[in-house]
Structure 1
Amino acid sequence: MIEARGLSKQYGSKRAVDNISFSIAPGKVTGFLGPNGAGKSTSMRLMLGLDRPTEGTVTVHGESYRDLPAPMGEVGALLDAKGVHPGRSARSHLRSLAATHGISDKRVDEVLGQTGLSEVAGKRVGGFSLGMGQRLGIAAALLGDPRVLILDEPVNGLDPDGVLWVRHLLRGLAAEGRTVLLSSHLMSEMAQTADHVIVLGKGKVVADAPIAEFVANGRSERVTVRTPEAAKLAALLLADNNPKVQLEPLSEGCFVTVGLTASTVGGIAARNGIELHELSPVTASLEDAYLALTRDHLEYTSA
């Protein structure tokens, strides 16, 4: 269990985290989402005692991370897979971490095998690919067989087989009753892995809900329309100047309507003698709900 209560962090004039409170429960994978600059990385650093909060508290099983007598046995974390001496081998890196907690070399070999690194255990980390570095970071997080896992972008650089492995690994660990916090910008992967989501925006919690509820609440009606009279139908759909109605072009003669039901679009087309080749509702997704929620909470936007 991870609990934050009134947690804030100020860097000069910048309030990176602003009075946030949440609980991350065991037995499920919790997705930690938010745009760049939302406060996710700062929150995770506060959880791990790498920064001190300006106000409030964050605890793991009721204790501050700094007060845990054997933190690797309680919390496994991956925040930066590159935080390894490049001249060390994968095995020597893990053995050096294990020595700080009296963890056996047998356990080192177990996590090397679990993460698929046994064959390269003697190679220097400086020669590892991005994906291999991620696997080593996950191995380090698993080393103490912790009850809590905090992972930031763990599938970055992994091939499809590696992504699938991480998904099954995290869901399996949660099924054992462990607390799993997963931060990622990959909405499609988060949708298949997480049970619950916490979304930050400009340092505040803007959503905290089971993933199915989050998607349902953030759903806007979306319909794919294909017609040889696309321009005419588009003009009719936008005639009322309703700001909630948007059209997203897909290809010639095809677009997606946002904010209108299929029956409404079909009725307008029928009354105006417009031939339709396709009229199909678009299934709601985590990405749609996330983008709709965070649109007004962006720190950085593209031109």
Structure 2
Amino acid sequence: MIAADALVKRYGRKVVVDEIDFTVRPGHVTGFLGPNGAGKSTTMRMIVGLDQPTGGTVRVNGRLYHEHRAPLREVGVLLDAKAAHPGRSAYNHLRSIAATHGIGNARVREVLGLAGLDSVAGKRIGGFSLGMGQRLGIAAALLGDPATIILDEPVNGLDPEGVRWVRTLMKSLAEEGRTVLLSSHLMSEMAQTADHLIVIGRGKILADGPIGDVIGKGTKTVVKVRTRESQELMSALAAPGVGVALVADGSLEVSGMSAEEVALVASAAGIVLHEVAAVSGSLEDAYLALTAGDVEYRSSSAPRVGSSKMGENR
């Protein structure tokens, strides 16, 4: 378990993490989301002792990270897949880490196999692709068979098979009763992997709850309707608190009514419906709504390719 209590991190006058409280519990995959500059990486670094809090505490399995006598057996972490000597082989890289905790070579070979790196175990890391480096970083995080796993952008650079492997691995680790904290900017992947979400923006916790609750609070459910009698249905649905909009594909979106209520109104008016379904918002919709006011680095409109201004600056 990971527990943060009034956790603060300042760099000079800049507050990066602003007195946050959260708990990452075992048995779940917890997604850690937030815009660039929100404080995610700093928080994860404080969890594993790479940055010291300005105030508050964060404990892993009941202790501060530096209090664990064998931290690799308590928490496995991937924060930077490039943090490996390029001249070493994958096998020797993991052996050097394992040696610090008395972990045998059999476990090194086991995690190499788990990560699908058996065939390249003797190759130098400097020749690895981004995805292979990610697999090696995950293998290193699992070396000590830890109860807690923290992975930052673990699917970065992975092909579809690798993405599915990470997804399945995270779920299986959680099912074993481990604590899994997973950071990613891929909303579609997070929606398939996480059970629980913590959303941070400008150093503050914006949401903390089951993924369904976070999506439900951050989006609205509408009823999508298809009919050849759109105008007649719009008139029949007109009522206080009910919104009806005609969308680009010719369907109607109804808010303030359930799908069953819409169907009953249409039936009473003799209107034939070709489709009626409740449509919930996505995790991406909820995330963008939650963080709309907390994006620190916001892009301006992109210049037109081949514009005269771009040409003048060449």
Which TM-score band applies after superposition, normalised by the shorter structure? 0.7 to 0.9
Q: Given the alignment, which residue of 298, 302, 308 partners 1:301? A: 298
User: What letter is aligned with 2:299?
Assistant: S
Secondary structure of 2:198's match?
strand
Tell me if the contact between 1:152 and 1:183 (Cα under 8 Å) persists in the aligned partners. yes
What CA distance in whole angstroms lies between the structure 1 residues aligned with 2:257 and 2:135?
45
Question: What secondary structure is seen at the aligned counterpart in 1 of 2:119?
Answer: helix
Which amino acid in 1 is paired with 2:285?
A: D
SS of 2:138's equivalent in the other structure is helix
Decide whether the 8 Å contact of 2:223 with 2:277 is kept in 1.
yes
Q: Is the 8 A contact 1:28 1:178 kept in 2?
A: yes
Are the counterparts in 2 of residues 184 and 190 from structure 1 also a CA contact under 8 Å?
yes
TM-score, normalisation: structure 2: 0.82
2:246 & 2:39 partners in 1: Cα distance? Answer: 31
Q: Describe the SS at the equivalent of 2:292.
A: helix
Contact 2:220 2:280 in 1 (8 A): no
Distance 1:115 1:258, change over 3 A: farther
**1:286 match:** 283
Change (3 A) 1:7 1:197: same
Query: Secondary structure at the residue paired with 1:297?
Result: coil
Displacement of 1:205 in angstroms is 0.7
- Partner Cα distance (2:86, 2:69) in 1: 29
The amino acid of 1:91's aligned partner reads Y
- 2:219 touches 2:280 (CA, 8 Å); kept in 1? no
- The equivalent residue for 1:120 is 120
Aligned to 1:272: none
- The verdict on how the C-alpha distance between 1:21 and 1:122 changes in structure 2, with shifts beyond 3 A counting, is same
Structure 1 unaligned residues grouped into runs of 5+ = 233-244, 267-275
Deviation (angstroms), 1:220: 1.5
Distance (whole Å) between structure 2 residues aligned to residue 25 and residue 154 of structure 1:
20
The Cα shift of 1:154 comes to 0.4
Q: Counterpart of 1:205 in structure 2: which amino acid?
A: I
> How much has 1:72 moved relative to structure 2?
0.4
Q: Helix, strand or coil for the counterpart of 1:167?
A: helix
Q: State the Cα RMSD in Å.
A: 3.2
Instruction: Map 1:52-131; keep pairs closer than 5 Å.
Output: 52-131=52-131
Partner of 1:141: 141
Aligned length: 295
Residue 86 (structure 1) shift: 0.8
SS of the residue aligned with 2:280?
A: coil
Cα distance in 1 for partners of 2:286, 2:176 equals 29
C-alpha change, 1:258 and 1:44, in structure 2 (3 Å) is farther
1:212 to 1:94, Cα distance in 2 relative to 1, 3 A: same
> Which amino acid counterpart does residue 16 of structure 2 have in structure 1?
A
- Which position in structure 1 is the counterpart of 2:41? 41
TM-score (normalizing by structure 1): 0.84
Q: 1:211, CA displacement in angstroms? A: 1.1
Q: What's the offset of the Cα at 1:279? A: 6.9
Greater alpha carbon shift after TM alignment, 213-222 vs 53-62: 213-222
CA contact (8 A) 1:202 1:297 kept: yes
* CA-CA distance at 1:254 after TM superposition: 7.2
2-structure distance, mates of 1:55, 1:259: 45
For the residues of structure 2 that align with 1:30 and 1:277, how far apart are their CA atoms?
Answer: 39
Is residue 16 from structure 1 mapped to residue 16 from structure 2 by the alignment?
Answer: yes
Shift of 1:18: 0.1
How far, CA to CA, are the matches of 1:94 and 1:114 in structure 2?
13
Query: Structure 1 residue 198: deviation in Å?
Result: 0.7
Distance in structure 2 (CA, Å) of the matches to 1:279 and 1:35: 35
How far apart are the structure 2 equivalents of 1:51 and 1:149? 18
| Secondary structure of the corresponding residue to residue 91 of structure 2 | helix
For 2:138 and 2:221, locate their aligned partners in 1 and report how far apart those are by CA, in whole Å: 39
Is the alpha carbon distance of 1:258 and 1:134 closer, same or farther for their aligned partners in structure 2, counting shifts above 3 Å? farther
Unaligned runs of 5+ in 2: 232-242, 264-272, 301-314
CA contact (8 A) 1:262 1:279 kept: no
Matches within 5 A, 1:156-195: 156-195=156-195
Deviations 1:137-159 (A, max 9, x none): 00000001001000001011111
Q: Distance in 2 between matches of 1:73 and 1:142?
A: 9
Deviation of 1:282 after TM superposition, in Å, equals 2.9
Kept after mapping to 1: 8 A contact 2:7/2:21: yes
Runs of 4 or more above 2 Å deviation: 221-228, 245-249, 251-255, 257-266, 276-284
Q: CA deviation at 1:259?
A: 6.3
Larger Rg over CA atoms: 2
Once the two structures are TM-superposed, the CA of residue 287 in structure 1 deviates from its matched residue by: 1.6
| Cα deviation 1:177-204 (Å, max 9, x = unaligned) | 1110001111111111111111101101
The percent of aligned pairs where both chains have the same amino acid is 63
